[in-house]
Amino acid sequence: MGFTIVGQEHFLGSGHPDPEEADQPNPLGLIESTDGGRTWESVSLAGEVDFHALEAEHGLVYGYDSQSQQVMVSNDRENWDRRASLAMADFAVHPGDPEELLATTQQGLARSTDGGRTFAPVPGAPLMVMVDWSAEGGVVGVDPDGGVHSSSDGGTTWAQRGQVGGAPQAVSTSGPADVYVATESGIHASQDAGRTFTLR
Q: What is the CATH number of the domain that holds 113?
A: 2.120.10.30
CA distances from 68 to 74, 78, 116 (A): 16, 18, 14
Q: How far apart are CA 109 and CA 107, in angstroms?
A: 7
Q: What is the CATH number of the domain that holds 4?
A: 2.40.10.500
Closest among 122, 120, 168 to 141, alpha carbons compared: 168
Give the distance from CA 171 to its chain's centroid: 8
Tell me 60's DSSP state.
Answer: E
Give the pLDDT confidence of 47-73 residue by residue, as tens digits: 999 999 999 999 999 999 999 999 999
Tell whether 156 and 144 lie within a shared domain.
Answer: yes
Last residue of one domain, picked from the residues 31, 49, 84: 84
Tell whether 79 and 117 lie within a shared domain.
Answer: no
53: containing domain: 1-84
Tell whether 96 and 62 lie within a shared domain.
Answer: no
**pTM summary value:** 0.94
CA distances from 113 to 21, 84, 120, 174 (A): 41, 12, 9, 24
Give the pLDDT confidence of 99-124 residue by residue, as tens digits: 999 999 999 999 999 999 999 999 99
Tell me 78's DSSP state.
Answer: S
**Contact at 8 Å (CB) between 137 and 190?**
no
Give the pLDDT confidence of 141-176 residue by residue, as tens digits: 999 999 999 999 999 999 999 999 889 999 999 988
